[in-house]
Amino acid sequence: MLYFDAVVLVMHKPMAPGTRVLYLGAASGTIVSHFSDIVGPTGVVYAVEFSHRSGRDLVNMAKKRTNVIPIIEDARHPARYGMLVGTVDVIFSDVAQPDQARILALNASYFLKNGGHFVISIKANCIGSTVPAEAVFASEVKKLQAEQFKPAELVTLEPFERDHACVVGGYRMPKKID
């Protein structure tokens, strides 16, 4: 549960009751169920998971939570589940893939509202196992910035998870008027 505690620390700003969340890499739904509690009955969590085995557990969890919409599909292809997902306030991306920043950007272009928020869990060893974790984190932040994301905070998950970090920020943020 320490990983979840670390995630909640970085999620405290963008999530509240009524929030609409797209969760990429939902696995069996443990963290999804906690997000379901946070967004409450007026919010919704669209939970995308590629693995059919984990997806079965996710579907069973969602039977008890009416605000969770389980989607067993590949997050690389948001058009395949576009008819199920509306505009969201937050995307939480927890996919352990070398192209995870691209996957987040693609889903954001489909579903994330302008001025919405994102959280991406970066697992450095899934991207570049021969490169120092800090270099991987910096490279992923640059990729996000190139896709209209504005990272606000990078939090490493040490000592809970080695070579992991979460990046939190906004998407297509409105320009501030002075």
> Could you report the per-residue pLDDT of 58-78, keeping only the tens digit for each?
999 999 999 999 999 999 999
Q: What is the pLDDT of residue 1?
A: 37
177: in domain: no
24: in domain: yes
37: in domain: yes
178: in domain: no
117: in domain: yes
| Residue 116: CATH number of its domain | 3.40.50.150
CA angle 31, 32, 38 (to 5 degrees): 95
Q: What is the pLDDT of residue 2?
A: 43
Alpha carbons 37 and 51: distance in angstroms, whole number: 24
The number of distinct structural domains making up the chain is 1
Q: What is the pLDDT of residue 155?
A: 87
Mean pLDDT of the chain: 89
122: in domain: yes
pTM of this prediction?
A: 0.90
Using CA atoms, how far residue 165 sits from 44, 47, 98, 105, 141, in Å, is: 25, 21, 15, 18, 11
43: in domain: yes
pLDDT of 6 > 50? The answer is no
Percent of the chain scored above 70 by pLDDT?
92
Domain with 106 in it: 2-171
